[in-house]
Chains A and B, each alone.
Chain A
Amino acid sequence: MTTSMTDSAAVPQPDAQQPPTKNTAAGKGGNPGLFRLLLKDRFAAASALVLVAVGLTALVGPALMGDLATKQNLLFANKAPFTMAHGWEYFLGSDSLGRSMLARLVVASRTTLSVALPAVAVALVIGSLWGVWAGYHRGWRENVSMRIADVIMSFPSLLLAVVVLYVFSPSAANIVLILALTRIPIYLRTGRAESAELQSRTFVDAARTFGAKPNAIIVRHVIPVVLPTLLTLATLEFCYVMLAESSLSFLGIGIQPPDVSWGLMVSQGRQYLQTAWWLSIFPGVAIVVTTIAANVLAAWLRIATDPAQRWRLALPRKRLIVRIPAKEAQP
């Protein structure tokens, strides 16, 4: 899957040789609204659609499915997907207890998102703010923060989760907290690195010469620049957290049946892979599609919110790429 980001990165910047005023290109025609820009990029628009669909499913889907997800019907056990012969609810097949895969996927989407989203969000907020603060001030704050991050990182995060969840009860809130805790160092490190680089930039120096307070500078100059990178990172983390949750569920200390999550479905279906592939493939696909969509959209957003890069989105990418080999053919 080619994301919009890798594409535009592959195109050499055409105005490298020209005066910097060239960058005005994108801005000249007024700032096209983000939504208009989004429609222009097919990949990003499709990703946004996928995410909206997943979100809506998680929001209203479980209510529509009623008790279908838990209703067992051994007559319909392990039915193969893609046939309407057993009614619409078995279109995506059924599991060994004859429960509808479709209904289970829909219900699981809510559980999955309600664990992954808060976990990612908590880690993102705490890790980023901490990292940005540490990187901006440098010195002992940076050193202490990095050592703490090292300590957390050096523990295998799953092991830590196992220990904690054995001690405390494996409730959803605990899962969220432990997953967030183990992922904080990721944001902390990135936020620190970016912020340490930014704090030496001239426009930050300029703000210091007005007497602006460190926190004001962090809010005004550091966070807006660091945020897109961290958001992109967060979408990748989203995938990791979903899989981590499924591992915990697999070990029996994550989501507890009869609740169901995509990750739990993948791990439960694993033993039937040879006889009933759909049991783990469908939730797996759901995880992958959601993550990729989030990732593509984040990559796009990173470019779209950067005024210096936005012009890339207006680039007719196809033509540029096609014409480069044409040039080499020339004598």
Chain B
Amino acid sequence: MALPIHASIGEHIWHYCFIAICVSVFFFLIFPILIIFPLSFNQQPYFSFTAEMLRLQPDAYTTKWYQEFFTSLNWQGAVKNSFIIAFFSTIISTFLGTLAALGLSRPDFPFKTTIMGLLISPMVVPLIISAAGMFFFYSRIGLQGTHVGVILAHSALATPFVVIVVTATLSGFDHSLTRAAASLGSPPTHTFFHVTVPLIIPGVISGALFAFITSFDEVVVVLFVGSYNQRTIPWQMFSGIREQISPTIMAVATILITMSVILLILLELLRRRNERLRGITPH
């Protein structure tokens, strides 16, 4: 990006204008997220800064919203549900998605595009339509308003991410490795667990992380397929914003952002490990 020495004045001006534009766009991206931290410590039950907060008076700040989050039954139930639902959806979607990705990435798979399109469709169809369809159908078969219903719905929504991530990992997979193992007398299952699995496991884990986040962050489907007893954190936040605005939501938001930063770092580390491993395999 550095300017060459021979750049003209006009180019200099444009260069700094460009930097200024980029900085303001980044500001637009990040500022709304940063604003949440101070607001979550607001003494007053509003979504705005008080004059006392701006003067940095210590009594304008409080941790009571965090206390409320950790003690309120509504929120604790939501946390429990979120983890239960995300955990089971992740297991189901990772298992089924990885199996399917293994099948789909075989070179002679028939009707690949059609089947891939159908398997990915939960990611493409707008959530409100998935939610509507699932609501009608699940209430007909008695799954609406049950944990099982929400888990099944979230698993369906999360599988495309697993399929895409694991298929991408497998596309760099060197099939001559399994042939080499076979030629050395290894039976297929042994090859699978000792050659294939160690190589694709980073892909599977990042697929699982995607699945977990999908379920953990999902709100439209859970609003329709679930009810109060299946309330997740986003469900509780949605009804909280609609009914009574309290900075507890900001406290929850702060905790969620911290979680997503941790996940982001985790994914980045996995990506690096994956690239390192792929670097070893010749193409």
Chains A and B belong together in one complex: no
Report B's interface with A, CB cutoff 8 A.
Answer: none
Report A's interface with B, CB cutoff 8 A.
Answer: none
